[in-house]
Amino acid sequence: MSGPLCQISLIQQQEDTLTQNSTMLSKRSLLAALLSVAVGVYLLPSPIDPKPHVLKGPPPALEGPLAVNTLLQKGRRLFAGKLHGPESFTADEEGNVFTGTVDGKLWRIAPDDSLTLLTHMGQDLPECGSSTDYEPVCGRPHGVRLDRHGQLIVADSYLGLHSVDPKTGEKTLLLANSEGAAGVPFAFLNGLEISFQTGIIYFTDSSSRWGRRHVTLEVIELNSLGRLLSFDPQTGSVTVLLGDLYMPNGIALSPDEHFLLLAETSIGRILRFWLKGPKAGTKEVVMDNMIGYPDNIRRSDHGTFLVGITTPRFRKITPPFLDMIAPYPAVKRFLAKVIPLSWYRVLLPRYALVLELGSDGRLVGSLQDPEARLTWAISDVFQHRGRTYLGSTDLPFLPVLEGGTADDGPWQET
């Protein structure tokens, strides 16, 4: 072949060669860019410092006391759009119920279900409740209880222990987070319980590192930086009862006040801490490898303990997400660097679950809403005057069940 045809062929070959070279250069550039990004992410410091942890086994099956039911569907929602994250409850002898919300507000619910703003735990800003970034200045009330003198005791996650007049809303600071205990400031005040025999206030600091707005990092990191503490209002003294706890959360006194039950949320475990008797000052595991992550623990109106499960942990084809990543610190460090905290919510199943424990801590039953028709992510289960209040940390309504005894109402499947 010669002449014009030969020249055309040579030109075509040159163009093909240039195209191939350009494609190879583009691929190399892309590879170099990806490698640079990977190296950059690798070198970027992770906000968490996790340790390997292996849970005791796969989640328990939904059978026996955990058999699927719809007992939590028999209720209704109150104050939709008015109460955002009513997390914990207490009530006075007149039938008023008190709760706190994500915007730092403390509320009073009258027996006729009228709603009154009692006080702001922190500053009253328009931004309060719009983002967790404002919680340190707005406050976030968690545990709420009445003491022997009829005063509200509030554990605000950021602002410390307060006494609040339930009629006027006047606040008195009892113990600031900055004071802490044993030289360690509080970062995440959470659970609360009060002895009616001694007046001692028991409370938990879920972490000395992470505040409430970073609870996702706390759970992923799976550290043991939490403590169980007591505060004596008479002397102002604070005592560390237990340390090295995995996100200690809700606590509940036994009827005789011989022991406390305590939830370690991040590892799905419940402890018993003895306050009296030959075992005083010691702890023991009551429940481990639970079906979900426990939040608050409350005594029911018929002598049992009710545990709100904030996130279920179900058996599926693959293990639950937190189970899978728990043994691998490198994976957790990487995820904490690249995934926004708000994205983890898509991994959480919408399934409402409450566990009922006997006085010995043994599981005796459960209440469930598999379709989340009424609620999900339950933080607290509070019974008062025939009604059961179901708390949450973030949902914009208050679910209630009418009835609530062992023999009738929503506690029986129909």
Tokens of 348: 């959480």
Quote the DSSP letter at residue 289: S
Q: Is the predicted pLDDT of residue 227 greater than 50, yes or no?
A: yes
How far apart are the C-alpha atoms of 213 and 373, rounded to whole Å? 27
CA distances from residue 230 to 119, 177, 239, 353 in whole angstroms, order as listed? 25, 14, 5, 30
Q: Is the predicted pLDDT of residue 68 greater than 60, yes or no?
A: yes
Q: Tell me, what's the pLDDT at 18? A: 54
CA distances from residue 191 to 176, 201, 321, 413 in whole angstroms, order as listed? 16, 11, 26, 31
Tokens of 156: 């605000």
Burial of 284 (0-12, 13-18, 19+ CB in 10 A): exposed
Q: Tell me, what's the pLDDT at 43? A: 54
Q: Is the predicted pLDDT of residue 218 greater than 70, yes or no?
A: yes
CB 274 within 8 A of CB 257: no
Tokens of 273: 């801490």
Quote the DSSP letter at residue 46: P
Averaged pLDDT, 382-403: 95
Annotated domain spans of the chain: 62-402
Report yes or no on whether pTM surpasses 0.85: yes
Q: Which residue has the tokens 């060669």?
A: 17
Q: Phi/psi of residue 107, each to 5°?
A: -120, 155
Tokens of 272: 């018993």
Q: Tell me, what's the pLDDT at 90? A: 98
First to last CA, the chain: 92
- β-bridge pairing 115-120 and 141-146: unpaired
Averaged pLDDT, 215-244: 96
Q: Is the predicted pLDDT of residue 414 greater than 70, yes or no?
A: no
Q: Is the predicted pLDDT of residue 87 greater than 50, yes or no?
A: yes
Number of CB atoms found within 10 A of residue 47's CB: 15
Averaged pLDDT, 143-166: 97
Q: Tell me, what's the pLDDT at 6? A: 58
Mean pLDDT of the chain: 90
CATH of domain 62-402: 2.120.10.30
Q: Is the predicted pLDDT of residue 222 greater than 80, yes or no?
A: yes
Averaged pLDDT, 240-258: 97
Q: Tell me, what's the pLDDT at 344? A: 82
Burial of 66 (0-12, 13-18, 19+ CB in 10 A): middle
Highest mean pLDDT among 19-28, 288-297, 319-328: 288-297
* Band of residue 315 on the pLDDT scale cut at 50, 70, 90: confident
CB 229 within 8 A of CB 245: no
Tokens of 414: 């129909």
Q: Which residues contact 303 (CB under 8 A, 6 or more apart)?
A: 255, 359
Q: Is the predicted pLDDT of residue 337 greater than 80, yes or no?
A: yes
Q: Which residues contact 130 (CB under 8 A, 6 or more apart)?
A: none
How far apart are the C-alpha atoms of 69 and 292, rounded to whole Å? 16
